[in-house]
Amino acid sequence: MKVAYMTNAWGNVMAHCAAANNVNGAYYVSTGADSEAISGIASAGFERIEIFDGNLTAYEGRENDFEKLLEDNHVSLLAVYSAANFIYDEILPEELYRIKKVATFAKRFGATQIALGGGATRYDGVREDDYAKLAKGLDAVTELAESLGMTVSFHPHMGSLVETPEQLDKVMANTRISLCPDTGHVLLGGGDPIAVAEKYLDRIKYIHLKDVTKDGMFCPLGAGVIDFSALQKVLNKADHEILYAIECDGWNGDPASGAKMTHQYLKDVLGFDN
């Protein structure tokens, strides 16, 4: 299926151990075995993956191992997920260096997409000019991605500077980056995924489909409250290609079973072809 599935459904989502004392090491990692995740994704019927920057850069110096992992499971790498604070001027060059390093490495394996989170929240509260700093940083990564022939899309995220629709509007009005709305995070941030898709349709090139239960937990598509059929009708109106990825991190069920459930939902309900 030409939809990517994120490997972070296996294990816990954490920061790399180097993040505490090295900005260049501030990667995301999922603690599940990459081999188990990629095998489970392939077995469910998916042909593409997205992976965290920390999991991917672990293959520096042993690139053949990752290539073999993809080949053995007949999947390709579509996207890498990375993030940065963006609001602290002194470390911004370090963060941009790290993202460029990650993107260049991902491109080596055929990735065309960068899903980009970020926008730190300060201990004493958000400062209004943080939104402008974030927008400036996002534009810098956009230029970086374009120089590599890749597409970068901003991913709003709970626990960051951009949770609510109002916060998203503040940033998107001042940056030219594409938008990767994560349906689960949009909903938990008080937004309507369908309304966000309608508003920013011309800027959506890559999207994360994630379902949420009534209790606010992430889950396989179709097991939660989001109306993906209505969302799909909006996305189908776009006059450009939109690429899809699925996320199901934080679900308390078996991740391989969750991937199979989602694949069946995509096929039966949303009409995605194998």
90-129 pLDDT, tens digit each: 999 999 999 999 999 999 999 999 999 999 999 999 999 9
In a domain, 183, yes or no: yes
Q: Where are the beta strands (DSSP E) in 31-95?
A: 48-52, 76-84
35-93 pLDDT, tens digit each: 999 999 999 999 999 999 999 999 999 999 999 999 999 999 999 999 999 999 999 99
pLDDT of 239 above 70: yes
- CA 263 – CA 3 distance, rounded (Å): 9
- CA 145 – CA 111 distance, rounded (Å): 11
In a domain, 274, yes or no: no
Q: Where are the beta strands (DSSP E) in the chain?
A: 4-6, 13-15, 28-30, 48-52, 76-84, 113-118, 151-154, 178-179, 206-209, 211-212, 218-219, 243-246
- What's the domain count of the chain? 1
pLDDT band at 2 (very low <50, low <70, confident <90, very high): confident
At 30, give phi and psi (nearest 5°).
-110, 140
> 91 with 46: CB under 8 angstroms?
no
In a domain, 171, yes or no: yes
Q: What is the pTM of this model?
A: 0.96
In a domain, 273, yes or no: no
In a domain, 14, yes or no: yes
Cα separation values, 191 from 33, 37, 164, 165, Å? 33, 30, 6, 6
Q: What is the pLDDT of residue 274?
A: 54
Domain of residue 35, residue span = 4-268
- Report the CATH number that the domain containing residue 161 is assigned in CATH: 3.20.20.150
